[in-house]
Structure 1
Amino acid sequence: MATVELLFSALPEHVRTARLVAAAVARRAGVDEAVLDEVRLAVGEACTRAVGLHASHGVTTPVRVVLIEDEKKFSIEVGDDAPHLSAADAAAGGPGEASGAPEEGEDDMGLAVISGLVDDVEVTADESGGLIRMSWPTIPAPVLP
Structure 2
Amino acid sequence: MPTVELRFSAQPEHVRTARLVAAAVARRAGVDEAVLDEVRLAVGEACSRAVGLHRSHGITAPVTVSLIEGEKAFSIEVGDAVPGPGSDTTLPGRPSGQQTEPDSEDEMGLAVISGLVDDVEVRSATDGGVIRMSWPTTPAVAVP
Using the size of structure 1 for normalisation, the TM-score is 0.86
Separation (CA, whole Å) in 2 of partners of 1:47 and 1:144: 36
Separation (CA, whole Å) in 2 of partners of 1:47 and 1:84: 17
SS in 2 for 1:140: coil
Per-residue CA shift, 1:55-88, capped at 9, x if unaligned?
A: 01110010000000011010000000012224xx
Separation (CA, whole Å) in 1 of partners of 2:8 and 2:128: 16
Separation (CA, whole Å) in 1 of partners of 2:103 and 2:56: 13
SS in 2 for 1:135: strand
Return the letter of the residue paired with 1:84. Answer: G
Separation (CA, whole Å) in 1 of partners of 2:9 and 2:136: 29
The residue correspondences of 1:18-57 to structure 2 (distance < 5 A) are: 18-57=18-57
Query: Aligned-pair RMSD on alpha carbons?
Result: 1.6
Q: Tell me which residue corresponds to 1:125.
A: 124
Return the letter of the residue paired with 1:39. Answer: V
8 A contact 1:79–1:131 mirrored in 2: yes
Separation (CA, whole Å) in 2 of partners of 1:142 and 1:110: 36
Q: For structure 1, which runs of at least 5 residues remain unmatched after alignment?
A: 87-93
8 A contact 1:9–1:63 mirrored in 2: yes
Q: How many residues end up aligned between the 2 structures?
A: 134
Displaced runs of 4 or more, over 3 A: none
Q: Tell me which residue corresponds to 1:116.
A: 115
Q: Name the one with the larger helix percent.
A: 1
Q: For structure 2, which runs of at least 5 residues remain unmatched after alignment?
A: 87-96
Q: Tell me which residue corresponds to 1:6.
A: 6
Return the letter of the residue paired with 1:142. Answer: V
